[in-house]
Every structure is written in structure tokens, then in C-alpha cells.
Amino acid sequence: MDITGSVALVTGANRGIGRHFAAQLLERGATKVYATARDASSIDLPGVEVLQLDVTDPASVAAAAEAASDATLVVNNAGYTSGGSLLTGDLDVIRREMETNHFGILSMARAFAPVLARNGGGGMLNVLSALSWATANGAGGYATSKAAAWSLTNHLRVELAEQGTQVTGVYLAATDTDMMAGWDIPKNDPADVARAALDGVQAGEFEVIADADTAGAKAALALDPKQTTPVA
């Protein structure tokens, strides 16, 4: 997937990693970058095409696919976390995590697959998490949605290969975004995550592991769960 000359669309591009994706795509020679957010007025990055897009709203996704009919690269970055308990948290909020982080990607894939096919195949980049592979107390809704998105990404890779669309997943641990603002722990620089992910797209990688913690989470899948599950 050659980013130079591509036409990219980035979800959740108003801040955090999404804003870095949009900026770096322009720097790497994308001819056009559609920067999207639920509140389009919150996007202030020069040089992008601004689109309103709520990935949980089918009508909004369909409108974006029509507006960005020249897209060759879709970056599914939009995400949501509640930080609540699976057992006691608001079930509607937990559903919102799944709707955004899993079904949002699926909705985008279904809407943009024909667009990418018409434009030669192109690529899709899904922003996932170390919690696709790990558990963390208080992050059950987010983690289960990202685990579902991991499986979804692997299945989309197979189905979209038939039309020549490359699918890449980027996996990351704590990163310095608004989502992690309340956590006083070491964090990735979001610019570094975006850079590594786009390098992976350019190189045709299936997975990009952004940091050592995420590499450890994936390696731990081969261990006995008794060694990795944080229970008393």
C-alpha cells in the first residue's frame, strides 16, 4: 500500500492519535485526507477535507462513503472507553463501547469496501489495543470490544483480500491521549504510534506492535491463563 498519492479517510481525527494520522498522511504525500469526527467543528488541522462522521450511525457512515468516494485508505481510529465494571457499570455505556470499537469498524468496512474496490483495492488500518489480548480490572467493556475488533480485523483481512484490499491492525498500550489523561503511568507518544502504524501500512504488514507492553501481551497468549490473569 503506497501512501504517496493515496486518498485517506481518518475517523476520530479531531484529536489524539487520529489527528497525528491525518497530519502524517499529508506529510507522507497523500493527495487528500478526509478528517472526520462526530463534531466536525472540532477539527482544526490545516490542509484536510473535514467530514462529519459518527461511526455508530449507519446513515452517517453511508454519507461519508458517498462523500469520500475517491478514498483508497481508511483509518479506523475512532474509539470509546467508559472505564466501568462489566458487572455493575451502565449496560448502555458498555454497549456503546462495543458499538464504537467493534461495530463501528464493521460498519465502516461494509460501507467502504465497494469504494476501495472501485479505486483499486487500497488499504484499511484498524487501531486496536494491547487489551485485545489482556485483561485489566475496570476496563472490561473496552477490552472485550477490542478483542472482538481483533478477530474482526483478521476476518476482514481474509474477505477483503479477494478485492486486493490490504488490512493492517495496530496494537498499542497506554498512549498519551485524552482517553488516558487520568492515568499517571508511562505512555507512548501518539505521534510515534501513528508513525509506526503508517510505516506498517507502507510495508504491507498485517500487524503493527507499537510498544514492548503490547508485545508482552501478545506473547502471554501462549501462557497458562493462571499465569496472566490478575485474580486474587
Residue 83: its pLDDT value, please? 82
CA 54 – CA 74 distance, rounded (Å): 15
Let me know if residue 35 belongs to a domain.
yes
Q: What percent of the chain has pLDDT over 70?
A: 94
222: exposed, middle or buried (Cβ count in 10 Å: 0-12, 13-18, 19+): exposed
Residue 176: its pLDDT value, please? 65
Tell me if 180 sits within 8 A of 129, measured CB to CB: no
Let me know if residue 2 belongs to a domain.
no
| Confidence class for position 175, pLDDT limits 50, 70, 90 | low
Let me know if residue 102 belongs to a domain.
yes
Domain of 216, in residue numbers: 7-228
User: Which CATH number do you get for residue 24?
Assistant: 3.40.50.720
Let me know if residue 25 belongs to a domain.
yes
Let me know if residue 209 belongs to a domain.
yes
**Average per-residue pLDDT in the chain?**
93
Q: What is the mean pLDDT of residues 136-162?
A: 95
Let me know if residue 137 belongs to a domain.
yes
Place of cell 491492525: 169
Tell me if 126 sits within 8 A of 168, measured CB to CB: yes
Let me know if residue 1 belongs to a domain.
no
The string of pLDDT tens digits covering residues 46-66 is 999 999 999 999 999 999 999
Q: What is the mean pLDDT of residues 108-113?
A: 98
For the chain, how many structural domains are there in total? 1
Residue 173: its pLDDT value, please? 87
